[in-house]
Structure 1
Amino acid sequence: MRKKQSPFIITLTTLFVLLLSIFTVEGAKKTYGVVGSSNGNVKLFVFGDSYVDTGNFIHSQSYKPPCGITFPGHPGGRFCDGRVLTDYLALYLKIDSPIPNAYRNASNIQNGINFAYGGTGVFDTHIDGPNLTAQINTFEQLIQQNLYTKTDLQSSFVLVNAGGNDYTAHIQHGSFFDIPKFTKSLVEQLARDIKRIQSLGVGKVAVSLIQPMGCLPELTVIDMHMNCIDLVNKVSQNHNQLLNDAIKQFNTQAGKTVLVTLDLYNAFLSAIDTMNKAHDRNSSLMNPLEECCVANMGHECGDVDEKGAKQYKVCQNPNLAFFWDTVHPSQNGWNAIFTLLQPSIAQFTLL
């Protein structure tokens, strides 16, 4: 997910447009119970954007300090201070996080491959990064090269997280008033991509619903980080309803559950609500609608000037923050989110 700057709002119509135009989706070790005591051939394949990218977007803020200060202790390609959704799912599956495709070689693919690339979408949203179709193309080519056996694929797990950047790109191209129509086309293409992944022989596919985009600090700043912007959250709600319907239809046609959804929307809201209540009781705790890494005007977290002076400030304790920057959760945030997703993950592993 890439950060975008926005002017101040003058009219209600302009407010709506700008609220939509500025959200983007880019991007403590814990043992989780999961699939038996030995995971042998279990592999994880990941597709999408920066919420699940663990290192493919090499020339990005994810490879600059202060990213990675919590884990692995230095910038490691995650749009976060530490672990992201991919890492927590891998921990749950009792495997190491799959290698980013950018660093793939014949000796490091035993846990799967991460094809996700920060800033990308279902459609073309990034000048260089591969969209979801291109990511799947690479996966299919590797299958055709017999990099993985049929048994490997049947025992594998797939995580897909995409869509937020598509809304940003759509608005930036001047399309402000056809969001419902765009959502329909976006979900239809996403559904085709998901079906294609499943048709390649993978055993289990989990698809993230889109997060409550109106709760991103880049938007809540307009309300002094006091509340989520309900108008924008309705876009997320509509997207998620259509995607849920598509997944249910696919499972019905298959005669069994072959796909599951991970409800990021309600997991975000629930975790934020819990942290909000704690903040109300103790004002020394962080407001969950504020980011930990605060950049100076016109800059992003990680920027430095020509003299090397930091153009950002990091909160005292990232472990108390829900958001790392204006669009990405912190490791603490992802940990809270994943904890709430575990019932869906359990269904995911039992498919």
Structure 2
Amino acid sequence: MEALTEKQRQMVSWVAISTTLALLLVPCPVSCERQCNFPAIFNFGDSNSDTGAISAAFEQAPPPNGITFFHNPAGRFSDGRLVIDFIALELTLQPPDPPSDLRTQPGLRVVIVPYRWMFSLNSSLVSNQDPNSFANKNVYGEGGRSFWIHNTGPLGCLPYTLDRYPVSAAQIDEFGCAKPFNEMAQYFNSKLKKTVEQLRIELPKAAIVYVDVYTAKYTLITHAQKYGFDKGVIACCGHGGKYNFNNGARCGASKMVNGKKVVIAKSCKDPSVRILWDGIHYTEAANNWVFQQIANGSFSDPPMSLTRVCHGNASIPYH
């Protein structure tokens, strides 16, 4: 792996987030073959799975976020739905709503609710992270027995990375992605997978599924036209520059012109054929495509579909 500068390492530690879904099981005997039943989702992921926490706690994601599905900003940094929304639909749940009352709370915390609920957690890039803290044994102790763990995506393909942390031409792959940052993401994922393997030992009653989101996303970006998309590493919503990304004028940014506010960081004409929404997050079309790839277990270890994940370890005595 090519060496990264300290500034690049700091950037990776900020961006490289792995979204971890911990599914708390409904009691079911070992022989049960029916689909899992999770009546709720509590998502504590990064901004790629945030359905409104950032907007509620700080400031609403501005228009044109939300234009494709919600037709208005809906707390999501995308033109529409996120992977977590499609997960909810697959489990026949109502897509998560933004937490409207977070501004009145003194702090944010994970609340462990009764058995028969589904959680999602978040793990950040920490080189020597304690597997115990990663797994959040409080959730396990409250009855969590099945974990759906996403690794991190190809950071080197994000306009945010390519614009703010430029590398030499020799470090750009044939698809326009920065090789050092993708190698760092792969290094993180290799450590994450080892952590998952360790967790399977430390949490013997848990079914833990590792989902290779990196490969799904990189496949989409590097074969965009094959799958009906265009401009793999160019942001749909942004303003200026090689990648349609300006960190000082992100998607929805505006300026005053003759006393009137004018939006300068606008959406592209057709987000449905674009992969990257704002330089950091993905479009609804891309999120849906990624979800369709991972939901059936094709990118999972063990190969377990989302709706069967509670049966991922046949040795678990559900109770």
Taking structure 1 as the reference length, what is the TM-score of the superposition? 0.66
**Which of 157, 160, 167 is the aligned partner of 2:118?**
157
Between the aligned partners of 1:103 and 1:190, the Cα distance in structure 2 is 31
Select the residue among 224, 249, 254 that pairs with 1:304. Answer: 254
Residue 181 of structure 2 is aligned with which of 232, 238, 246?
232
Query: Mapping of 1:50-199 within 5 angstroms?
Result: 50-58=47-55, 62-103=60-101, 135-136=109-110, 139-140=111-112, 143=113, 149=114, 153=115, 155-163=116-124, 183-185=126-128, 187-188=129-130, 191-199=133-141
Q: Flag structure 2 segments of 5+ consecutive residues without an equivalent.
A: 20-32, 241-245, 301-305, 313-319
Residues 192-341 of structure 1: matches in 2 within 5 Å? 192-221=134-163, 222=166, 226-277=175-226, 286-296=230-240, 297=246, 298-306=248-256, 307-341=260-294
Q: Deviations over 1:172-211 (max 9, x none)?
A: xxxxxxxxxxx323x3268445333222223432222111
User: Which digits, 9 at most, give the CA deviation of each residue in 1:142-174, with x for residues without a partner?
Assistant: x3xxxxx3xxx2x333333442xx6xxxxxxxx
Distance in 2, matches of 1:99 and 1:36, equals 28
Query: Given that residues 319 and 332 in structure 1 are in contact (C-alpha distance below 8 angstroms), is that contact kept between their aligned partners in structure 2?
Result: yes
Distance of 1:264 and 1:190 partners within structure 2: 23
C-alpha distance 240-38 of structure 1, shift in aligned 2 (>3 A)? closer
- Mean Cα displacement is larger for which, 287-296 or 255-264? 255-264
- Corresponding pairs, count: 268
Please give the root-mean-square deviation of Cα atoms over the aligned residues, in Å: 3.3
**Amino acid across the alignment from 1:81:** D
Give 5+ residue unaligned stretches, structure 1: 1-11, 28-34, 105-127, 144-148, 167-182, 280-284
In structure 2, how many angstroms separate the alpha carbons of the residues matched to 1:189 and 1:252? 11
Distance in 2 (alpha carbons) for counterparts of 1:270 and 1:191:
31
**Aligned twin of 1:146:** none
How many angstroms does 1:249 deviate by? 1.6
1:286 Cα deviation from its structure 2 partner: 2.1
Indicate the structure whose relative CO is greater, using CA pairs within 8 Å and at least 6 residues apart: 2
- For residue 333 of structure 1, report the CA deviation from its aligned partner: 1.2
Q: CA shift at 1:324, angstroms?
A: 0.4
**2:139 maps to amino acid:** I
Instruction: Provide the TM-score with structure 2 as the length reference.
Output: 0.72
Q: Compared with structure 1, are the counterparts of its residues 74 and 216 closer, same or farther at alpha carbon in structure 2 (3 Å cutoff)?
A: same
Distance 1:16 1:215, change over 3 A: farther
Percent identical pairs in the alignment equals 25
Please tell me the residue identity of whatever aligns with 1:184. S
**Cα drift, residue 57 of structure 1:** 1.4
Q: Kindly indicate which of the two structures has a greater share of residues assigned to helix.
A: 1
